[in-house]
C-alpha cells in the first residue's frame, strides 16, 4: 500500500545550500528538507575573511574566501549530501548577506476608504509594486510582509475580510548591487545553478526569531552574530524599529566598546518607545556567555527606570533543536540553524 502511495503521491524533498556572509567570515551548509520532517543540517563550515595586505579591498578578500568555501563545500559537503539523498547536487542556494553590504528597513503602508472594502492579496501586491522603494546602487533582495493591522487590530489571517482601514508592515532588505552580482556569479560558477536567493542577514534572523519564540510579543533582538550591531524592537508582536551600527573600533577593549554602542542604541530607542523587559542576544555560542555577562555588568536597569534589570536570553542551538536537526560533527553554527529555520517557514511572495 505504501509502495503505491509513494508512486502516486511522492514525498516532496529539496536540497539547499546556505551561504552566510558577514564582514569577518563566510559560512556554508548543506541542508535537506523532506515533507513532514524538520530540516536536517548535514554539513557546515565557516572560514575567516583574510586580507592579504592592508591595501586589499575588503570585497576582493570576501570573494576569495567565498570561492575557497565553495570548493570545500563541494569537496567535503556534497559527498555527505549524496550519501543521505543519492545526489550531491542542491536545488537552490540561499545567501544571507551582512554588513557592510546590506541594510534593513521597516515601513508601513496604509489602505483606507470611506466605505467598507474587502482586503485582498491582490490589493497588497498592486500597492507594493507601486510603492516599491529603490536605492541607488542597492539591490532589493527581499520585501516581506511581517504584520497586518485591520481596523486597528493586528490580524494573522487578514485576507478576505471586510474593513474600513488596513495597514501592512513591510520588512525590506537591500544589498549592495555590485557585490551582490559578484557573489551570485561566484556561486553560479561553483554550484551550476541559477536558483540563487538573497536576503539581508538581519532581516533573515529577525524572521527566524519569530519562529523560535512565537509567544514573545515584546522584545529587543540584539544581533551580535557578526561585526555589525543590529537591534530590532518588537512591540505587540510587530517590528516597530530596526537600528544598525558598525562595531569597528580602534580601542583594545572591544567588549567595553561593544557594550557602550549597545547602550547608546538602547538609549536612542528609549526616547521613542517603551523598552520591553526581554532582550534576546544572538551570538556564536563561544562568545554568548561573555557578551551576556558584559551586558549584565553594564546595569541596564537604569534605561528601564527600574531597579530590576531586563531579562537577557542568549539564544543557543538548544532553543532550535526541535525545529532543525543538527546532523553535523562540527559545533552548531547559530546563523546556519536560523537560516535553516527561516527557509522552511519563509513567507510566500504576495
Residue 248: count of CB within 10 angstroms of its CB = 12
In tens, the pLDDT along 92-130 reads 999 999 878 888 888 888 999 989 999 998 888 888 777
**Residue 223 main-chain phi, psi, to 5 deg:** -95, 110
Average pLDDT over the chain reads 85
pLDDT surpassing 60 at residue 9: no
**pLDDT band at 18, cuts 50/70/90?**
very high
**pLDDT band at 309, cuts 50/70/90?**
confident
- Rounded Cα distance between 33 and 41, Å, is 9
Q: Which tops the pLDDT comparison, 246 or 235? A: 235
Residue 161: count of CB within 10 angstroms of its CB = 16
Please give the biggest Cα pair distance in the chain: 68
Angle at 135 between CA 343 and CA 243, to 5 degrees: 65
24-44: average pLDDT: 93
Strands 219-223 and 138-150 turn out to be unpaired
182-197: average pLDDT: 90
Residue 151, all three cell numbers: 481596523
The model's pTM: 0.84
**pLDDT band at 348, cuts 50/70/90?**
low
Contact 223, 202 (CB under 8 A): yes
Hey, which residues does 20 pair with through a beta bridge?
27, 96
Residue 134: count of CB within 10 angstroms of its CB = 8
3-state secondary structure of 215: coil
pLDDT surpassing 90 at residue 245: no
**pLDDT band at 10, cuts 50/70/90?**
low
Angle at 264 between CA 133 and CA 338, to 5 degrees: 55
Domains and CATH numbers, the chain: 2-100+177-201+319-345 (3.30.420.40), 104-173 (3.30.1490.110), 215-315 (3.30.420.60)
Q: How many CA atoms lie within 13 A of 246 on its CB side?
A: 9
Amino acid at each position: 500500500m505504501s509502495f503505491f502511495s509513494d508512486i502516486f503521491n511522492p514525498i516532496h524533498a529539496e536540497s539547499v545550500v546556505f551561504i552566510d556572509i558577514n564582514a569577518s567570515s563566510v559560512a556554508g551548509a548543506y541542508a535537506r528538507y523532506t515533507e513532514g520532517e524538520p530540516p536536517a543540517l548535514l554539513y557546515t563550515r565557516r572560514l575567516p575573511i583574510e586580507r592579504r595586505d592592508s591595501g586589499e579591498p575588503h570585497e576582493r578578500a570576501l570573494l576569495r574566501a567565498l570561492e575557497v568555501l565553495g570548493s570545500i563545500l563541494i569537496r567535503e559537503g556534497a559527498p555527505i549530501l549524496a550519501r543521505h539523498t543519492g545526489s550531491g547536487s542542491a536545488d537552490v542556494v540561499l545567501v544571507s548577506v551582512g554588513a557592510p553590504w546590506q541594510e534593513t528597513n521597516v515601513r508601513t503602508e496604509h489602505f483606507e476608504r470611506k466605505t467598507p472594502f474587502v482586503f485582498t492579496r491582490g490589493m497588497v501586491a498592486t500597492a507594493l509594486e507601486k510603492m516599491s522603494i529603490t536605492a541607488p546602487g542597492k539591490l532589493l533582495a527581499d520585501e516581506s510582509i511581517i504584520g497586518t493591522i485591520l481596523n486597528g487590530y493586528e490580524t494573522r489571517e487578514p485576507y478576505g475580510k471586510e474593513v474600513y482601514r488596513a495597514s501592512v508592515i513591510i520588512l525590506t532588505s537591500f544589498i549592495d548591487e555590485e557585490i551582490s552580482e559578484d557573489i551570485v556569479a561566484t556561486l553560479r560558477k561553483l554550484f551550476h545553478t541559477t536558483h540563487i536567493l538573497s536576503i539581508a542577514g538581519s532581516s533573515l534572523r529577525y524572521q527566524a526569531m519569530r519562529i523560535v519564540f512565537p509567544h514573545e510579543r515584546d522584545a529587543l533582538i540584539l544581533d551580535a552574530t557578526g561585526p555589525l550591531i543590529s537591534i530590532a524592537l518588537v512591540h505587540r508582536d510587530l517590528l516597530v524599529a530596526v537600528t544598525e551600527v558598525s562595531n569597528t573600533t580602534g580601542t583594545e577593549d572591544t567588549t567595553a566598546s561593544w557594550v557602550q554602542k549597545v547602550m547608546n542604541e538602547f538609549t536612542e530607542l528609549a526616547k521613542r518607545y517603551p523598552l520591553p523587559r526581554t532582550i534576546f542576544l544572538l551570538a556564536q555560542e563561544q562568545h554568548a556567555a561573555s557578551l551576556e555577562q558584559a551586558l549584565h555588568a553594564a546595569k541596564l536597569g537604569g534605561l528601564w527606570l527600574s531597579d530590576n534589570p531586563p531579562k537577557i536570553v542568549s539564544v543557543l542551538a538548544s532553543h532550535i533543536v526541535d525545529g532543525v536537526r543538527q546532523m553535523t560533527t562540527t559545533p552548531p553554527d547559530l546563523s546556519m540553524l536560523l537560516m535553516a529555520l527561516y527557509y522552511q517557514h519563509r513567507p510566500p511572495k504576495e
